[in-house]
Chains A and B, each alone.
Chain A
Amino acid sequence: MLGSFAPILILFLIAVFIAVFVITVSSLLGPRRSSPRKLAPYESGMEPIGPAIRRIPVKFYVVAMLFIVFDIEVVFFYPYALVFRQLAVPGLIAIGVFFLVLVVGFVYEWRKGALTWE
């Protein structure tokens, strides 16, 4: 059974080999002439401004959570839209309950003030 996975293992080994080979060869053969400009971190050609690790307003995190709520809703609604005729009434009830649970979370967030951006 495991034998059928052998090609994947070989592919994996080849991938590792190529990666290691290319890096090793280029570091052995390539010329090394560094200048300050070359050593600077690459920021799409711009001069670097400030450190890369900065504080981010926690608001984004709340927005991300809201996004997940609606994202999951859509993820379930699309497949449901395809089969809703076959599922008939029981399906409608089931998706209704699912939607109700989402709405509870959403109303809670709204009431807690997660939707106001100041």
Chain B
Amino acid sequence: MESLQIPPVDLRLLTPLLIVVGWAGALLLIDVFFVPDGRKKITGYLAIAGLAVAGLAGIPLWNLSGSTFSGMLVLDRYSLALTWIFLIAGALSIAVALDYLPRHAIEQGEYYPLIMFAVGGMILMAQSADLITLFLGIELLSITLYILTGFAYPRVASEEAGMKYLVLGAFAAGFFVYGIALIFGATGATSLAGIAAYLGRQPFAPQEETLFLAGASLVLIGFSFKIALVPFHMWTPDVYEGSPTPVAAFMSVGTKGAALAALLRVTLALEEAQTFWLPILAVLAAATMILGNLGALGQSNLKRMLAYSSIGHAGYILLGIMVAAERGAEAFLFYILAYTLTNLGAFGVLIALEQRGEAAWSIDDFAGLYQRRPLLAVAMALFMFSLAGVPPTAGFMGKFFIFTAAYAGGLGWLVLIGVLTSAIAAYYYLRVVVKMFMQEPVREVRPELTRGLNTEILIAGVATLILGLLPTPIVLLVERSLVALGG
């Protein structure tokens, strides 16, 4: 009998991922055994500590790169930079939930390990160099998010959101897997390198080309659903509105960021297939920018508005992915970082307004906020400016990098659409600012700030300003992080 070979495994390359997932599993048990009901915050703090340790453990990996598990998982600076962004997003989403959950009477210790598992899925997606592991990451992320969207269990809206997300998400996963199967049928490989090698080697036989095109399209549909690209965006506003606000905050930056990061890797790998891949991305980007921003115009519910705005932002980020081989990847990383921090900050303010356990998402609830909570209003204004892309903020630098990279890459007409839709977007972002600073309060909403929330808004606000005023160090870091991506 021939002996079986287990491929060599270098677990060092996966340190942050293993710490996050391992700690999440351990925390699940610690929570049920040792943490009494009503003091579940302890679990939250432990979860943040775990994420921090994972982040620190990533530092020595900066000069390391390589692949393991027969090339299914890779570690490079690109994945490491994304890992840190995801860890930050996870930690901030936990920080805002510490007080939100008990106030809304939905405190369960499972929230924190679930967020950690989701972060683990995101890291797995960033490190995947194979469609199978990529799918594994997507599922780990999605399944935890199905639970988290329905986390406010007795509330009907939350249950509805969870159900909607589950049904549509399962469909999208089906598309994705079927796409992988067809691509495998055409090229005989599921690894990105294998697919790229096949594409580069020979012209396709007609049937194989059909198979490959069908498979790639299905995979793209799966991606589009997770990123919420128009026309696969329908679920986003409903799910964000129904799910608990910290979860919506996490989804708006987490799922999107991870799926976009994976899409960037796939796009780079499919360089030989650009002639069919890029036009589709172009149409998706244009539709996403236009419809996302137009959809946000009519919203008076801030949660829905932020949902549509996150759709629009995905469109801008897509421009960076399309020119990833040139300078787009750098712009992409910077934009993801800027968008993550800004959006989490904006959601943080939203959570502050609901802190007393009732919904306060109407734009009228923000009227006159400046008179009651000047600092909070200033922070919200900062986030709105950043999302709109007004100068001294992170959002401006992000848009600037993306648009310059896209223009240099020959996507002039898409940049034109991007700039025009940004102008439209400014209207609905600035409307919030006008409400806060120039109008009298309509309804008595007393925002309450707690330690976790304060810290989160402070971190997000300061980061938004620093990225806007002094982007150079981060840009250098981002540039260095992409040396090894082969772009």
Which residues does A use to contact B, with CB under 8 Å? Answer: 1-2, 83, 86-87, 90-91, 94, 101, 104, 107-108, 111-112
B29 engages A91 (CB within 8 Å): no
B162 to chain A, nearest CB (A): 16
Cβ contact within 8 Å between B4 and A108? no
- Interface positions of B (Cβ within 8 A of A): 1, 3-4, 6, 25-26, 28-29, 32-33, 207
Within 8 Å by CB of A111, from B1, B3, B4, B33, lies: B33
Given contacts A1-B207, A2-B207, A86-B1, whether A94 and B6 have CB atoms under 8 Å apart is yes
List, sorted by A's number, 19 A–B pairs whose CB atoms are closer than 8 Å: A1-B207, A86-B1, A86-B3, A87-B4, A90-B6, A91-B4, A91-B6, A94-B6, A101-B25, A104-B26, A104-B28, A104-B29, A108-B28, A108-B29, A108-B32, A111-B29, A111-B32, A111-B33, A112-B32
**In the complex, what's the smallest C-beta–C-beta distance from B206 to chain A, in angstroms?**
10
Rounded to whole angstroms, the CA-CA distance of A94 and B29 in the bound complex is 22
B21's closest neighbor in chain A, by CB? Answer: A101
Which of B1, B4, B26, B207 is most buried by chain A, counting CB atoms within 10 A of its CB? B4
In the bound complex, residues from chain A placing their C-beta under 8 Å from that of B29 are: 104, 107-108, 111
Q: Is the interface of B mostly helix, strand, loop or mixed?
A: helix
Min CB distance, A79 to chain B, in Å? 11
Instruction: Say how far B218's CB is from chain A's closest CB, in angstroms.
Output: 19
CB proximity of A116 to chain B, nearest CB, Å: 14
User: A108 — which chain B residues lie within 8 A by C-beta?
Assistant: 28-29, 32
Point out the residues of chain B lying under 8 angstroms from A91, CB to CB.
4, 6
CA distance A107 to B30 in the complex (A): 11
Q: Looking at the assembled complex, report how far the CB atom of B417 sits from the nearest CB atom of chain A, in whole angstroms.
A: 41
Chain A residues whose C-beta falls within 8 Å of the C-beta of B25 in the assembled complex: 101, 104
Instruction: Tell me the nearest residue of chain B to A111, going by C-beta.
Output: B32
Complex: chain B residue closest to A89, CB-CB: B6
How many angstroms between the C-alpha atoms of A108 and B113 in the bound complex? 12
Contact A86 B28 (CB under 8 A): no
Given contacts A1-B207, A104-B25, is CB(A87)–CB(B32) below 8 Å? no
Assembly CA distance A112 to B110 (angstroms): 11
Closest 6 CB pairs of A and B: A111-B32, A86-B4, A104-B25, A90-B6, A86-B3, A108-B28
Residue of B nearest to A112 (CB): B32
